[in-house]
Chain A
Amino acid sequence: MEHSARQNVLWSIAIALVLIFALIPVLWIISLSFKTPATITDQSFIPTEFSLDNYKSLFEGGISDSPFIKPLINSLGIALITTFISIILASFAAYAIARLEFPGRSVMLAGALAIAMFPPISTVGPLFDMWRSLGLYDTWPGLIIPYLTFSLPLAIYTLVAFFREIPWDLEKAAQMDGATPFQAFRKVIVPLAAPGMFTAAILVFIFAWNDFLFAISLTSSDASRTVPAALAFFTGDSSFTQPTGSIAAAAVIVTVPIIIFVLLFQRRIVAGLTSGAVKG
């Protein structure tokens, strides 16, 4: 198809607009994070003076006094453990749904869909009360358990879609060629299933990394408070200074690695996010 110069120009403008709109908040928070206290209120989009002070202040005082190190460790640990358990449980369920004939298959899928629509705030009060009597309040498991619940539907739907595409007959073929069932599983099925599991793992990690409601409701200290919750409690150096600079620096630290990760694996993420919907 031939395209006129005018079409190409319009197209470029549309792409540029999308790109600018997507990038503005990211560039803005990066810009803020490099501003000095004196220039943070200068309202300019590009810093006039660069400094790393906002970043240094986040790590000052080491693990015990820094307002940021412990929440960062909590965020990483809680999100990684959630991802690991969620993917294992979801793989079991997705394998059964994709491969086995049993009554209750569609109930399981419909149930997972219902959980995906469930309003988390409705469980916050009871969990707060239950966790306090069970000793789970303000602990890692206290956050991991609800994250598991609300990430499983996403993981199950993604994995079922991927598992349905796997040519499972290859397993039998490998066994006919003399492989043991375990070899057939490890050398044939695992490599085929791994991309789907990896995709589901990225989506679950981002979900757990992003949560704010449970993180502020079920924690009360740095023992388990994650970064999004900690950001809401950041204070300035004195009661007269705004913590804008430190919030911006902390925001950049938790954002940039995820963005790089998302961009590296963008094809997988798009496939994962739409896998449940395409099949419908």
Chain B
Amino acid sequence: MSQVKAAISDRARSERRLGWLLCAPAAIAMLAVTAYPIGYAIVLSLQQVDLRFPDEGGWVGLQNYGAVLSSGLWWTDLFNTVFLSVISVSIELCLGMAIALVMHRAIFGRGVVRTSVLIPYGIVTVVAAFSWQFAFAPDTGFVNHLPLIADDKDWFGERFSAFAVIIMAEVWKTTPFMALLLLAGLTTIDDGLYNAAKVDGASAWQRFTRITLPLMKPAILVALLFRTLDAFRIFDTIFIMTNGAQDTQSVSILGYQQLISRLNLGLGSAVSVLIFLCVLVIAIFFVKFLGARQPEGSNA
């Protein structure tokens, strides 16, 4: 009896060892470029490190954070980032839901819709940003030629019209992902519920708000969490379209400019750490207050 037990625990032990061994390379690769650098960023953010003036330096405590948080630029950029994220994710949720419903309840043409939503997914963000920029540019673009639009409208010359184009490009690029995640949630709903509700006389809108939305809450929250965090990192589109001109800068652009353009690693790292903290707050907000759960949660 004890021999059998020993054999089982031997097996369990070797299985455990194999499990760790197989996971180790991936775990190391993931930690090496996230955990270590963020730790290093915290260290850098507490020092004066400016690669243009390598001789100056030393610990300055929270001075870099003070400099960032007391500058108008950080707050403007944070506002821009939050504004762009909230607007584009809201539009994406509505559009994505519409497309998911179209794909789910397709009378015909489901394949066409799936094909067309995958096109934006496959396109490099920078390429899409250039295409939209050229489309709206007053000299090359066809948009100002359309009816109802002033021929000489300078879309990128003013803050909120630039935002409109940026949001459009973001929505175009990322709605497919939202739609596919929502479609996956839709397919898990039992058709019988709809038929039963129909028999009871529920209208299409009632069926949507009383059955679809409540049952899809987990899928919607996961999609929202992922897209919000992704939108918060917005960089490529703004870099190509305005590069932050007309007060359209995002926090990621600010971090890039401090770190790479100005080589001020101290200040730039303070920005990086603050962005990391923002992302943490958003993730905690979704998980704690809205109850978004890890996608694999129920079958892990």
Whether the Cβ atoms of B114 and A270 lie closer than 8 Å is yes
Q: Which of B29, B125, B188, B236 lies in contact with A149, CB distance below 8 A?
A: B29
Contacts of A120 in B (CB 8 A): 233
Q: Is residue A55 within 8 Å, beta carbon to beta carbon, of the partner chain?
A: no
Interface string of A114-147 (1 = CB under 8 A from B): 0111111111111111100000000000000110
Q: Which of B127, B142, B296 lies in contact with A280, CB distance below 8 A?
A: B296
Whether the Cβ atoms of B102 and A259 lie closer than 8 Å is no
Which secondary structure characterizes the binding site on chain B? helix
Q: Which of B144, B172, B252 lies in contact with A213, CB distance below 8 A?
A: B252
Distance to closest chain A CB from B8 (angstroms): 12
Give the bracket for the number of chain A residues in contact with chain B. Answer: 35 or more
Whether the Cβ atoms of B115 and A279 lie closer than 8 Å is no
Contacts of B120 in A (CB 8 A): 22, 25
Interface string of A199-237 (1 = CB under 8 A from B): 000000010011011001100000000011001100000
Contacts of B299 in A (CB 8 A): 164, 279-280
Q: Which of A41, A125, A231 lies in contact with B126, CB distance below 8 A?
A: A231
Distance to closest chain A CB from B29 (angstroms): 5
Whether the Cβ atoms of B269 and A125 lie closer than 8 Å is yes
Q: Is residue A38 within 8 Å, beta carbon to beta carbon, of the partner chain?
A: no
Interface string of B117-150 (1 = CB under 8 A from A): 1111111111110111011000111101100000
Distance to closest chain B CB from A9 (angstroms): 11
Bound: A164/B299 CA distance, A: 10
The segment from A59-67, A167-175, A187-195, A247-255 that touches chain B is A247-255
Whether the Cβ atoms of A212 and B122 lie closer than 8 Å is no
Contacts of B187 in A (CB 8 A): 278
Whether the Cβ atoms of B122 and A206 lie closer than 8 Å is yes
Interface string of A253-273 (1 = CB under 8 A from B): 011001101110010011001
Instruction: Give 7 pairs: A residue, B residue, CB < 8 Å, sorted on A.
Output: A25-B128, A45-B142, A92-B23, A112-B30, A212-B236, A228-B126, A263-B115
